[in-house]
Amino acid sequence: MTPFGTRLAAAMAEHGPLCVGIDPHPGLLAGWGLPDDAAGLREFAMRVVEVLGGRVAALKPQSALFERHGSAGVAVLEDVLAACRETGTLSVLDVKRGDIGSTMAGYAQAYLADGAPLAADAVTLSPYLGLGSLAPAVELAHATGRGVFVLALTSNPEGASVQHAVGADGRAVAAGIVDGVGALNAGGPVPTGLGSVGLVVGATIGDAARRLGIDLAGSRAPLLAPGFGAQGAGRAEVAEVFAGAEQAVLASTSRAVLAAGPDGLAGAAEQAVADVHAALGR
């Protein structure tokens, strides 16, 4: 399979740098007039895929909001990922897994192996048991043409206490993660352009990357960037966070599109793509 980084670059060039979350929050289900059960979950999620599949670069189901419905919800998630494949739209499964040894290998098999019921084009991972602990997932992703997005600089207030902490080498934890991801991309299957190991970087983190001496562009990582849409990241915020790395940004938005309801999804997504293009200056 063509490496994920190459496929993502092509999808962003064709459809714009937008990833729309599939986040079936109880409030959104109610707003759509749907019950908060597996049937409502299915109607909601499959409608998003039906309308936006083939129109945006990627779709990002939030696993927790399916898992809360137990096995019935996970069955819906399997069908949603299969539907994404049928439309040719990249799927980024938001699971934020992070563990060690055989457990990490198990997560990798669940989400990144060919033929796995929950296989996605990419998954989100947490590196805070050490970036090296993610090796089973990175290796399998490279082998199957899939990708991973590693949490680096998130916008939640609690994240800074870990991510901005400075180690004995004088480097912030997040800087070490970005450097490590850059090394993984340098040794990965994509020699130039976007690599297949990405980073999650919030669009509302302000000057954190610059202040911590982090070179986002040098990592060659696709940058999954929550904070657009409802969280309000615009041209000024983007310029501060992603200066020099704008071409790598895959903007993530959920409620700003989903709140438009089933009949307004297409228009809301088109507006979101235009807004992202304007914010990124591309």
Q: Which of 96, 164, 171, 255 is catalytic?
A: 96
The C-alpha atoms of residue 279 and residue 39 are separated, in whole angstroms, by: 37
The C-alpha atoms of residue 153 and residue 113 are separated, in whole angstroms, by: 27
96 counts as catalytic: yes
Burial pattern 38-54, b for ≥16 Cβ within 10 A else e, equals bebbbbbbbbbbebbbe
Other beta carbons less than 10 A from residue 168's beta carbon: 5
Per-residue CA distances from 144 to 25, 81, 119, 133, 140 (Å):
32, 16, 11, 19, 6
Q: Return the amino acid letter for 47.
A: R
> Active-site positions?
96
